[in-house]
Amino acid sequence: MSFVTRGFHGRRRDDDGRLPPGQHLTGDFPVLSAGPTPRIPLDEWELWVATEEGTRHTWSWAELMALAADEPTVDIHCVTSWSKLDTTWRGVSLDTILADVETAADYALVHSYGGYTTNLPLEDLLDGKAWVAYEFEGDDLHPEHGGPARLLVPHLYFWKSAKWVHGIELVLEDTPGFWEQLGYHDYGDPWREQRYQGD
């Protein structure tokens, strides 16, 4: 009888297998921004969704706040190799935001205030996998971290989680965003280490 079980033999660390390959844990919350932090007054803030047919849906800040919110606790993984476990957020699920949006699109190109963009398959925004988040660890989301609101798509590398989210363009064909045009992966699954195009 073998007393060395598979589980005992396998990698066991304090992250409990929650750290994707090539990542290390960090306790703090680094700021990674490709440009200056835009400041958007809440009375001017707007979220838009545009379909491939040209239909536009918009939400004011008050309208976003009126939507049912979730409080997800998730692990986040930056392509620069830090991961942070059990981060807590408050935000509106994309399922709620897209509930009444009719589309045949398979992809989304997300637009931020300030001009940043990032692309992902529409299905990666659905089924409880993505939020428009406006609180972090119980406080209003700090402007440097994307406040007043950012996209939160924790199952993909964190560059997909567009800070200062402004709009979601639903498109029939995948269209690379800011980092994707500069060589980062179109999908960006941290568990498959999809850091760069070709990974």
Residues forming contacts to ligand MTE in the complex (CB under 6 A) are: 29-34, 78, 112, 114, 116, 145-146, 158-159, 161-164
CB 78 within 8 A of CB 62: no
Q: Which CB sits closer to Mo ion, 79 or 125? A: 79
Which position among 31, 32, 62, 182 is part of the footprint of Mo ion (CB under 5 A)? Answer: 32
Using CB under 5 A as the binding rule, whether residue 78 contacts Mo ion is answered as yes
Q: Point out which residues pair with 136 in neighbouring strands.
A: 89, 139
Which of Mo ion, ligand MTE, none sits in contact with 90, Cβ below 5 to 8 A by type?
Answer: none
Q: Which CB sits closer to Mo ion, 163 or 166? A: 163
Q: Which CB sits closer to ligand MTE, 19 or 162? A: 162
CB 146 within 8 A of CB 85: no
**Identity of the amino acid at 39:** R
Which of ligand MTE, Mo ion, none sits in contact with 149, Cβ below 5 to 8 A by type?
Answer: none
Which of ligand MTE, Mo ion, none sits in contact with 112, Cβ below 5 to 8 A by type?
Answer: ligand MTE
Helix (H) or strand (E) holding 86: strand 82-93
Residue of minimal CB distance from ligand MTE?
A: 116
CB 112 within 8 A of CB 164: yes
Using CB under 5 A as the binding rule, whether residue 159 contacts Mo ion is answered as yes
End-to-end CA distance of the chain: 42
CB of 164 to ligand MTE, least distance (A): 5
In whole angstroms, give the CA distance from residue 194 to residue 114: 26
Q: Which CB sits closer to Mo ion, 31 or 172? A: 31
* Closest listed residue to residue 74, CA positions, set 148, 156, 141: 156
CB of 95 to Mo ion, least distance (A): 25
- Name every residue whose Cβ is closer than 8 Å to that of residue 168 and which is 6 or more positions away in sequence: 47, 48, 49, 50, 94, 97, 98, 108, 109, 110, 111, 125
Q: Which CB sits closer to ligand MTE, 55 or 73? A: 73
CB of 100 to Mo ion, least distance (A): 32
Binding site for Mo ion (CB under 5 A): 32, 78-79, 159
